[in-house]
Each structure stands twice: as structure tokens, then as C-alpha cells.
Structure 1
């Protein structure tokens, strides 16, 4: 008999990728490389040019997963407390503006 797996840190991620470039095998490999257990995966919408995917994952830390997904061309649609990517981007943009206006 198998023991039931208890998932402690379930998180839902909504991601998007172009329809031409989307590979389910690539996505699952990326999640496994980041030590994330997939509990559910659904194709939410299929637009003409992109695919929206809703993932439910058991992850201790999303700090490594979200940048990895972005690096491989996935757009993260959902907002997460651990995701400070937009804040850093705005910080760098304001620093660049300050530098260029000197």
C-alpha cells in the first residue's frame, strides 16, 4: 500500500507562453529542476498566439522557480509575495533614468 503524500505549501501559478513555443515536457522538466512537485496542471485558455496554463504546485520557495520560468520565455500572470521582479525592474529603470539625465 502507498502512503498518501501531504502537500504543505500549495501555490497556484498562472503562466502564458506562445502557442508555437509551448511544450508540456519542457514545462514539467523546468518544474522538476526547481524541485517543485506538480499537483495539478490545466490548460486555461488557448488563444490564437498563446496558451495560458494554471499550475498548482507544492513549492517551499518560488524565488528560483519564477525567474527560471521567465528565462525560458514564460510570462508569469499571477502575483506572488516572493516575486520582486517588477520592483527590481522599476528600480533599475529609475536608476537608468537618473544616470541618463546627468
Structure 2
């Protein structure tokens, strides 16, 4: 079974704080990374930012600009959702990985982390996506699960895809074959269906009635 730690990468060694800015600039000219980890005596200091070093003096060392290094990292014990959160919060395509003793192990690349996500059942398994909306005060995660399972559906995953002070939107992935029953049950529990579905009997009936009314009015 593949785990997120299988994607720890060491194709490029971490930069040393005693390397020159010119060497760092040359490195970023050859790769498309937004950041890259910097070590001092084997200890992780932070990540240097590709855009920042464009304005640095080329004859100085990275250690002269320690204050610009960004300190984000992940632990090797962290799950893939926490890892993706670090990517997003720091607007980076590289995240250094440390063990529990703060030893530098390598780095995750965003493309590899997304590849790992694509191997999860939420993405990989065949199923249908339903997006529902409800007042925040009335929302219940257990109720969402109950609605799916009470209609003999299998819940493959769900997450909060949008939220504000009043409402919340939930993206749900379920097994195919019971979609319409699940959709109609959500409506009975006053959930608004945001996603469109070809097999939505409620919408199809409304459309048929609208078409009939248009035809009647045009007689």
C-alpha cells in the first residue's frame, strides 16, 4: 500500500547556508520550484524563496539572508490532508519533511502529493458527485451520512467545499446507482441541490411540466 512518505524526494540536495546567492539563482534557473530548503550544519533553517533572491547580491551567501527564509515544514508522521494544507497555506510547490527529531529527510513536491490524492478512493473509485447546501445552523455531518446510507448508498468521501456565516456547501461522492433516491431524500430534509444530475427525477418532472405549459400557452 502506498503511503504519503513514499513520495519523499531527494532528487536535489538541500541548499547549504554557505552557498552563494549566485549558486542559488543558477539552481532556480534550472528548476521551476517556488521555494527550496536550506540547511546549516545539517539543520533545517527554512526555505529560500525563488522570487526573493532575484534582488539579492550575487556575491553574498544565503546565510546573509537568513531572515528571509520561510520556516514551514511537515513531519514525516503527518497525513496527506495536513501536508496539502501546508502546501496551500504557504503557496509553495515544495515542502520540506522532518522527522520527530527534526532531522531533514527530503521534500514533498506538490505534483507528487496530488498524484497520491488521485490514488485515494475519493478520486479513484467510480461514483457520483452531489453538492448540497444548507443553513449552517441546521447542518449535520451525521445526517448527510445517514441520508446516503439509508438509501443503500456507499459514502466514498465528503468535504466542506464552501462556507460563510449563513450557509455551508458539502461535496459528497457516493456509489452510482442510487443517486436519484439520495438526491430526493436530501430535498426532503431541506437541502438545496447545487450540482446538476441527468437522472434527477424532480428536475426532469419540472422541465416536462414547463415544456407542457409552454406548448399549451402557444396553442
Q: Shorter chain as normaliser: what TM range?
A: 0.7 to 0.9
Structure 1's consecutive aligned runs of 4 or more residues displaced over 2 angstroms after TM superposition are 89-97
Measure how far apart 1:47 and its partner are: 1.4
If asked which structure has higher relative contact order (CA below 8 Å, sep 6+), I would say: 1
Which ranges of structure 1 fall in alignment gaps of 5 or more residues?
A: 1-6, 98-102
| Structure 2 residue 75 is matched with structure 1 residue 75 | no
Calculate the TM-score normalised by the size of structure 1: 0.76
In structure 1, the partner of 2:175 is 58
Taking the aligned partners of 2:134 and 2:189, their CA distance within structure 1 comes to: 9
**C-alpha RMSD of the superposition:** 2.3
Equivalent pairs counted in the alignment come to 93
CA positional deviation for 1:80: 0.9
- Looking at secondary structure, tell me which structure has more strand per residue: 1
Gaps spanning 5+ residues in structure 2: where? Answer: 1-123, 215-219
Question: Does the CA-based 8 Å contact 1:12-1:54 persist in structure 2?
Answer: yes
In the other structure, the counterpart of 1:14 is: 131
| Structure 1 contact 34–65 (Cα < 8 Å) conserved | yes
Matches within 5 A, 1:1-102: 9-92=126-209
TM, length-normalised to structure 2: 0.38
Instruction: Identify the structure with the greater helix proportion.
Output: 2
